[in-house]
Structure 1
Amino acid sequence: MEARFLQVQTHSVLQFVLIFLIIIGSYVHASTSGQAGYVDKFIAKTYFEKHDSLIDPEFNNFIANEIPLTLCKVLEDGNCVLPTLSNLHRSVIGEGSHRRLSSSIIFKFQPELKIKLVAHSCEVIMIERLPSGVFADPFELQHLVQRGVFSDAAVFGDTNLELPSFRSNRSVVEIHMSIGSKMLSRHHDKLEINLEVPLHARYAPLGLGFSRVEFGQPDLFMCCSLEVNGFKRSCAYLPTNNISDHKASPLAWEIPCGIREHAGVVSAVTYSFALVSALLIVVTSVCYSNSKGSNKSKSL
């Protein structure tokens, strides 16, 4: 009888502990549900860990709700004195299927902000949402990082460089530029950054004329090494909709389409050369084997 009573008491205690843990868990979830989630070193990487492809509305929602945009509240005790975007000029330069997406960015800021930007290892991050007709080579970007052109760079999304445009998905290029003392010393109250992202055209669909790809405005962030609400890095989103050329015609690159008749000729010529090369390899191998065998017989 006493053993049964002890068993009932133990069961009641376990139920009470379980209910208590559920209540505590619900409270913690409610208190943290309004905070932005963890963001990796690369902002786009965090997005693609949750999504398979780039969809603009989902990416906009990710920026608005899942990035800890708390930098503005930290540097000046709630008074936002972060740099503001004053000018953004973009162009596609170069010729042929290998070109560069050039961006000239000018920020304005209060002079006393210089020390804080350098002290907290701040950096400007630019995210380019590329259209499906072009791609950036990750190895080429890493070479630029090694040369010190960028502090870091990466490509996310569809990184298959061989796919034609009609079979490929969109990709994202994320460029990091550290805000060092040398960069800030050039001007008293502004920061100028010039970026050139190397791009390559994918194989356009067969047809006549050109395939037009258009580039939207980049997403600009400023992130600093500041721990806020458990996050080791705080960021601020720098909108581009307040500049003068925001509503101008979109930046475009017209890529020549392949001609269907030429495609058949190229395929036939390529197949012929491949067949002739294979036959030459076989004939050369046979002749080499015969000559080697005859030399052995003579030596005997």
Structure 2
Amino acid sequence: MAVLHRYRTIYILLSFVIGISITNCTHNLRQHDSHPMQNSPLYPDKRDDGCHKDENKNLASIDRSAALEGFHRDLITKINFRSEVKSNLTSFSDQCSLLLVERLPTGIYVDLDQVAEMERLLKDISVISSDRIDVEKPAHLSTEHLLLVYARINPITDVRSTKVSLPIHLRYHLPQDDWYGYTEVVMPRPMLILIHCDKELPEFQCQPKYTAPCSNSNKSSCVWNLLYDNENEDSGNEIILKVPVGIVKHGVLVSIGTIISAIAGTIILIIAIKNAFSGKATYKDRNYVLKSKVQ
């Protein structure tokens, strides 16, 4: 009986420990799911400014499109400002910056070196990534990425709206069993679009605020005002991109063709090298014969 009592006590203690561990894991997972931007330098600003914030108010709407074809595209976001914002942006747009918070799916990546070169040459866009982006990984080995995309507002042409163009690239995907030859990648709407102006505009006083780096080159914190939150908008503005993929049933034909091509290329290369050396020797022999005749 004493032995049974001892084992029962151990069983109860183990159950208690396992229960606590499962509870903590579940809590951590829920925290991770409820804070999609926890790995980024962007977080809500909780300061009390005495306002009744309208949490469901967007001061801008968006239109999304994709330019170019193939694996290399331009993601274009047109931001349309509401009428109450346009009036002040007419005077202060050159003092304002935009920040788009983008979540890239596993099938899409942004080449940070390419964007850095664009920033150096054009000064109109820059990007901060929450994680390192491996441009060589295929889609099934990649992870999602959170990007902070910075852009300027053109004070001359962009009073009513502005466009932000971001170069994106599609990753390679695993072959499929069907004969369609394409798969689809969905690029979601921006999570947030924020604005920061050197002068605080009255339209933004009671808008939700976020703290984030002022720019890619200036990592000090700035307070950004909410322009657009995708949770305040009905579904739409997602972009579906078609990506060419291999067909599993073509694997044997592709393998045979590759082997034949490799063998044929090797044979041609060997013949070309042999002819080259043979021709070189013949040329030397002819020179020797000519020199002998002259002498």
Q: Secondary structure at the match of 2:78?
A: strand
Identity %: 20
Q: Residues 235 and 295 (structure 1 numbering): CA distance in 2 closer, same or farther, change over 3 Å?
A: same
**Which residue of the other structure, out of 111, 115, 120, is the alignment partner of 2:87?**
111
Alignment of 1:221-300 (within 5 A): 221-223=194-196, 232-238=220-226, 239-241=228-230, 243-245=232-234, 247-248=235-236, 250-300=238-288
Q: Residues 101 and 113 (structure 1 numbering): CA distance in 2 closer, same or farther, change over 3 Å?
A: closer
Q: Partners of 1:233 and 1:168 in 2: how far apart? A: 30
CA contact (8 A) 1:217 1:240 kept: no
Structure 1 residue 133: Cα displacement: 1.4
Q: Secondary structure at the match of 2:150?
A: strand
Alignment of 1:20-99 (within 5 A): 59-62=36-39, 66-67=41-42, 85-92=59-66, 95-99=69-73
Structure 1 residue 105: Cα displacement: 0.9
Q: Secondary structure at the match of 1:166?
A: helix
CA contact (8 A) 1:221 1:235 kept: no
Q: Residues 256 and 192 (structure 1 numbering): CA distance in 2 closer, same or farther, change over 3 Å?
A: same
Q: Residues 155 and 94 (structure 1 numbering): CA distance in 2 closer, same or farther, change over 3 Å?
A: same
CA contact (8 A) 2:78 2:164 kept: yes
TM-score (norm. length: structure 2): 0.59
CA contact (8 A) 2:188 2:237 kept: no
**Which residue of the other structure, out of 168, 181, 187, is the alignment partner of 2:155?**
181
CA contact (8 A) 1:84 1:107 kept: no
Q: Partners of 1:95 and 1:146 in 2: how far apart? A: 25
CA contact (8 A) 1:134 1:200 kept: yes
Q: Residues 128 and 244 (structure 1 numbering): CA distance in 2 closer, same or farther, change over 3 Å?
A: closer
Structure 1 residue 89: Cα displacement: 1.9
Q: Partners of 2:134 and 2:251 in 1: how far apart? A: 22
CA contact (8 A) 2:64 2:238 kept: no
Structure 1 residue 262: Cα displacement: 1.6
Tell me the alpha carbon deviations over residues 56-111 of structure 1, each in whole angstroms, 9 at most, x when there is no partner. 75542356xx54767x99xxx9889xx95321122345554444433211234263
**Number of residue pairs matched by the alignment:** 228
Q: Secondary structure at the match of 1:296?
A: helix
Q: Secondary structure at the match of 1:61?
A: coil
Opposite residue 163 of structure 2, the aligned amino acid is N
Alignment of 1:134-153 (within 5 A): 134-138=108-112, 141=115, 144-145=118-119, 148=122, 150-153=124-127
Opposite residue 221 of structure 1, the aligned amino acid is L
Structure 1 residue 132: Cα displacement: 0.9
Q: Partners of 2:231 and 2:245 in 1: how far apart? A: 36
1:216 maps to 188
Q: Partners of 2:126 and 2:260 in 1: how far apart? A: 45
CA contact (8 A) 1:90 1:104 kept: yes
CA contact (8 A) 1:88 1:104 kept: yes
Structure 1 gaps, min length 5: 1-54
CA contact (8 A) 2:187 2:240 kept: yes
Q: Residues 269 and 61 (structure 1 numbering): CA distance in 2 closer, same or farther, change over 3 Å?
A: same
Opposite residue 216 of structure 1, the aligned amino acid is P
Structure 2 gaps, min length 5: 1-31, 200-210, 212-218, 289-295
Tell me the alpha carbon deviations over residues 113-166 of structure 1, each in whole angstroms, 9 at most, x when there is no partner. 655553xx4311223221111233446545654663833346674644343221
CA contact (8 A) 1:88 1:243 kept: no
Alignment of 1:161-172 (within 5 A): 161-172=135-146
The one of the two structures with greater contact order (alpha-carbon pairs below 8 A, sep at least 6) is 2
**2:163 matches 1:194:** yes
Opposite residue 38 of structure 2, the aligned amino acid is N
2:292 maps to none
